[in-house]
A = this chain, B = another copy of it.
């Protein structure tokens, strides 16, 4: 039940773009520098965000990435879905059709309940919330638990 660096860095990338990309593109180089993360690794992660349509890329000099929607229209669920994949603890929790025994399974309701409660949390937090929280804490964007 762990969130990997893809999900965590994904949130930082998106928050960084939301803060620094008001009316322009933000380059990966700048993000990597500010966040102190490997540019090459971020490339893979932002690719996931791009494929999910959360950011759009602009190639060439002065290029970079920008959000495709406003920060309050992007939820933590969107970002984690793009970077982590489904947040369902087991596949049947998100799609009961995937398992023919769903109705007769003793534990399926547990996974469904967990999934619903996780979605309930992350679908209500928007990127705007993270941007606002970021402005209230000191150098917040660089700080993250490495464990």
- Chain A positions within 8 Å of B, measured between CB atoms, are 1-3, 8, 11-12, 15, 76, 84, 86-92, 98-99, 101-111, 113-114, 117-118, 120-122, 125, 130, 133-134, 137-141, 143-147
Contacts and interface: CB of A to CB of B under 8 A. Distances in A.
A81 B105 CA distance: 21
Nearest to A88: B1
A3 to B, nearest CB: 4
A123 B47 CA distance: 38
Given A1-B3, A3-B1, A104-B137, A122 B114 contact: yes
12 contacts: A1-B2, A92-B147, A99-B144, A99-B147, A101-B143, A104-B140, A105-B143, A105-B144, A107-B130, A108-B145, A109-B133, A113-B121
Contacts of A130: 106-107
A94 B143 CA distance: 18
Contacts of A3: 1, 89-90, 111
